[in-house]
A and B are shown apart, each in its own frame.
Chain A
C-alpha cells in the first residue's frame, strides 16, 4: 500500500481504506502517528513480556525432575528469547530501536505482562504457566495474527504455533502430576489455585476501564475486547480442568444456559492495579534481574562492537 498522493488527507484516506478492507499496513506505508505509537507500545510490551517471562520458568531449569522435562523447559525458555527477538524486530520496523526499548523496560517506562510478577514456587507452577498463562496468551494472540500491521501479524503467526505447543506440554505436565502420587496431585492443585486468577487478569482491565481498547479495535490492531477474550478463555479452561482432575478456585464458576457461557466470580482488580503499579510479589526481582544481566553483559557487548570495528564486520551478536 504505497501512495504518491500529496496531502495528509489523502494519505489518511488510503490508510483508512486499507484497514477497512482488512489489508495489511506495511512499514513504509503512511500511518497516523497515534497508530504507530500505539503499536510500538503494544509490541514492545509484548516483547518485554517474553523476555521477563523467561525468568519464572528459568527458575526451574536446574531443578527439573526428569531429563525429558528439563529438555522441554530449556527449549521453551529458548523459544521465549526467540519470540522476544522477533517482536523487537517487528517494533523496529516502526522506527524504534531495541536498545531504546530495553532502556524503557529497565527504567520502568514500559511495562510487561503483570502475570510474570508472580513467583514459581513449585515444579507444578511450570505446568500451570504452560496451561493457563500460555493458554491465555494464545487466546489473546491468535486474533493478532490478523492484526492490521503486517510485521506484527506475521510475527504472531510464528509465535502462536510455538505457544500452542508449549501450552499442550504444560497441560500434559499437569496431567502427569494430577494422576501421579498424592503429593504430586496436591502440588498441581496448589499451582492451579495460585495461577488461575492472575491468568484471568492477563486479558487486561474490564472493557469499561480499558483506555486503549476502542481505538485499537477501530484500527484493527485488536479484534476483540478484553472481556470477550477473557470469557472465551474461561469457557475453554473449564472442561480442560475437568479432564485434568483439578478444580478451578472459583466458587462462582457455573454454566449459564441462557448466555451459553460460564459465569465466573469477580476478579480482584485492586490486586491487578497493585501489581501494575510495581507492587506485585516479584516486580522488584524481575526488573533487577533483567537490569543486572544487561549491566553485567555490557563489557561483552562492547567487546563485540570493538572487535567488529577492528575487523570490518558487523557487531552481530553485539546488539543489545
Chain B
C-alpha cells in the first residue's frame, strides 16, 4: 500500500501540471509520467482492496506515502528535483522487486521500464537546468536543497516487502551525486531527515499541503456515496 500511495500521490501532483507546462513537449512528458504512476498505483492498490475505496475514502492519516511525493509542485525545478530524487529511488526499488517472485513481480517487470524513463527525463532536466543559465542554476540548486530533507524517509524499511530498502541508499546516493555533479550543482549536506522535519509519511504523518490535496481529489467521489462513475 505504501508504494501504491507513493505512485498515486505523485501522479496527482504531476496531473496538476496539465496546461501549465513550460513547453508543449513537457505537457506530454509530465502527463505521460503521471499516467505511468497512476497505472502503478492502480495495480498496487488493487492488491490491497478496491482501488477507488482506497484512494477516495481514506483520510490523510491513513495514507502511507512518503512526504516527498506530496510536496507541492513549486516551480519546474522543484518538480524536477522531486522527480529526480523519487524516480531514482523507485528504479532501484523496482529493480530489486523484479528479482523476487512475489505479488509485485508482474508490476515490477513493466514498471522498471517506465521508471527508467522517468529517471532519464529527470536527469536530463537536472543537467539542462543546473548547467543552463544563471537563473536556472540557482532555481535548481534551491529545489534540490529544499527537498533534500524529505529524502531520508525513502529508505525507511517497508513492511511485507522482501527488499532491504535501507540498503538502496548507497546506490541512490551514488547516482544522485553523479547527476548533480554533472549538472554543476552541489548535493545538499546535512541530515536527510531531521528531528523536526520529514520522516513519518509511512506512519500517516503528513505535511500540511497534503490534506488540501486530498480534499480536492476526493471531493466529488465523497459527495455521491455509493455512486459508480
Q: List A residues at the B interface (Cβ < 8 Å).
A: 51, 54-55, 58, 61-71, 74-75, 77-78, 81-82, 84-85, 88, 123, 173, 176-177, 180-181, 183-184, 289, 292-294, 296-307, 310-311, 316-320
How many residue pairs, one in A and one in B, have C-beta atoms under 8 Å apart? 153
Main secondary structure of the interface of B (DSSP, over half): helix
Is the C-beta of B229 less than 8 angstroms from some C-beta in chain A? yes
A–B pairs, 15, beta carbons within 8 Å? A61-B15, A65-B221, A74-B31, A77-B18, A77-B31, A88-B24, A123-B229, A184-B227, A289-B20, A296-B22, A299-B133, A302-B132, A304-B132, A306-B132, A317-B29
> Are A54 and B27 touching (Cβ within 8 A)?
yes
Contact of B19 among A54, A181, A303, A304 (CB under 8 A): A54
> Are B132 and A307 touching (Cβ within 8 A)?
yes
B11-41, CB < 8 A from A: 12, 15-16, 18-29, 31-32, 34-35, 38-39, 41
Is the C-beta of B104 less than 8 angstroms from some C-beta in chain A? no
Bound CA–CA A307/B128 (angstroms): 5
> Are A297 and B21 touching (Cβ within 8 A)?
yes
> Are B19 and A55 touching (Cβ within 8 A)?
yes
Bound CA–CA A118/B227 (angstroms): 27
> Are B229 and A301 touching (Cβ within 8 A)?
no
| A52 to B, closest residue via Cβ | B19
From residue B86, how far is it (CB to closest CB) to chain A in Å?
18
> Are B23 and A297 touching (Cβ within 8 A)?
yes
> Are A67 and B38 touching (Cβ within 8 A)?
yes
> Are A62 and B55 touching (Cβ within 8 A)?
no
Bound CA–CA A310/B16 (angstroms): 32
> Are A303 and B135 touching (Cβ within 8 A)?
yes
- Since A69-B229, A301-B23 are in contact, a sample of 15 more A-B pairs with Cβ atoms closer than 8 Å, ordered by chain A residue number, is A62-B12, A63-B217, A67-B51, A67-B55, A74-B34, A77-B19, A77-B31, A180-B229, A184-B227, A292-B20, A293-B19, A297-B21, A300-B23, A300-B136, A311-B131
From residue A159, how far is it (CB to closest CB) to chain B in Å?
14
> Are A65 and B220 touching (Cβ within 8 A)?
yes
Given the interface pairs A71-B42, A306-B133, the reply to whether A65 lies near B224 with Cβ below 8 Å is: yes
Given the interface pairs A65-B220, A180-B227, the reply to whether A304 lies near B15 with Cβ below 8 Å is: no
B93-144, CB < 8 A from A: 127-129, 131-133, 135-136, 139
Given the interface pairs A293-B19, A301-B23, the reply to whether A81 lies near B136 with Cβ below 8 Å is: no
Given the interface pairs A58-B18, A81-B31, the reply to whether A300 lies near B228 with Cβ below 8 Å is: no
Is the C-beta of B76 less than 8 angstroms from some C-beta in chain A? yes
> Are A61 and B22 touching (Cβ within 8 A)?
no
> Are A85 and B227 touching (Cβ within 8 A)?
no
> Are B25 and A319 touching (Cβ within 8 A)?
yes
Q: Could you say which residues of chain A place their CB within 8 Å of the CB of B51?
A: 67
Q: Could you say which residues of chain A place their CB within 8 Å of the CB of B31?
A: 74-75, 77-78, 81
> Are A54 and B18 touching (Cβ within 8 A)?
yes
From residue A69, how far is it (CB to closest CB) to chain B in Å?
6
> Are B129 and A300 touching (Cβ within 8 A)?
yes
> Are B136 and A303 touching (Cβ within 8 A)?
yes
Contact of A293 among B22, B42, B127, B221 (CB under 8 A): B22
| B136 to A, closest residue via Cβ | A303
The 9 closest A-B pairs by CB, nearest first: A297-B22, A303-B132, A303-B136, A78-B31, A58-B18, A81-B27, A300-B22, A307-B128, A58-B19
Is the C-beta of B216 less than 8 angstroms from some C-beta in chain A? yes
